[in-house]
Structure 1
Amino acid sequence: MNKTTIKTLIGLHGMLVVYSMSGICSKLAAGESFLNARFCIYYAVIIVLLGVYAIGWQQVIKRIPLTTAFANKAVTVVWGIVWGWFFFGESITPGKLIGAGMVIAGVVLFAKSDEV
């Protein structure tokens, strides 16, 4: 794997963090009354985050195969667990850890099969 590919993958994962943050705002907005100020602010932030993600995603898929980029998107499951714990006090159960481990193993397995 060359230096450019590594930089692209790091950028991809940065974009996936941005994408996963839209879920935080979605959950916060769900707790608000429809169309009150906070609800509108959360949804405005969602639109901005998804816009940034969309632009970044287009840049990433110019540089690496779509199948590789899309396989890495599964890592947002891990970010969902982290954000749930950090922002909402959700518990991290053994089942969640096993599931996240399986997702990461799948991404690594797919990446290794791409090298062959």
Structure 2
Amino acid sequence: MKKENIKWFIILHIIIVIISASSIIAKAAGKYPFLSFKWILLYGCVVAILGFYAIAWQQVIKHLPLIVAYANKAVTTIWGLVWGLMITHEQITLQKVIGAAIVIVGVYFVVSGDEDVSGKSEEKIEEVKNNA
């Protein structure tokens, strides 16, 4: 992976952590009465996070292959487990761990497979430019 791609890969994962927090905030908002001050405040945070995510996502896919970026969104599942354990004290079961492991392996295969494909694609583009 190129140095520039590594930077955007890290940025992508920071964005994923932030977007995964929105589900916890929404869950917290659900504890308050509809349209109460705290409900509006918390859902306002969720909307702000989603707005940030929409803009940040567009920047990431300018610099990373879409398949890599989209496959890494699945890591949100793992962050959901972490937030659930830390904040809402939900249990992590064996099934959840197995599911998270499958997600990690799947992301690894997609990302590592894309390196082979993108390298060949870049070679083809250079070949076409040289022949033109």
Q: Give the shorter-chain TM-score range.
A: over 0.9
What's 2:71 paired with?
71
Q: Deviations over 1:46-101 (max 9, x none)?
A: 01111111111111000011111111000000000000111101011111111000
Q: Which runs of 4+ in 1 moved over 3 A?
A: none
CA distance in 2, matches of 1:2, 1:28: 40
Tell me which residue corresponds to 1:32: 32
**Greater Rg over alpha carbons, structure:** 2
Give 1:89's aligned residue. Answer: 89
Give the whole-Å Cα distance in 2 for the aligned partners of 1:100 and 1:8.
23
Report the TM-score when normalising by structure 2: 0.85
| Unaligned ranges ≥5, structure 1 | none
For these two proteins, the number of residue pairs brought into alignment is 116
Pairing of 1:3-18 with structure 2 (within 5 A): 3-18=3-18
Residue 99 of structure 1 aligns with an amino acid whose one-letter code is G
Structure 2, unmatched stretches of 5+, are 117-132
C-alpha RMSD of the superposition:
0.7
Aligned partner of 1:69: which letter? A
What TM-score, normalized to structure 1? 0.97
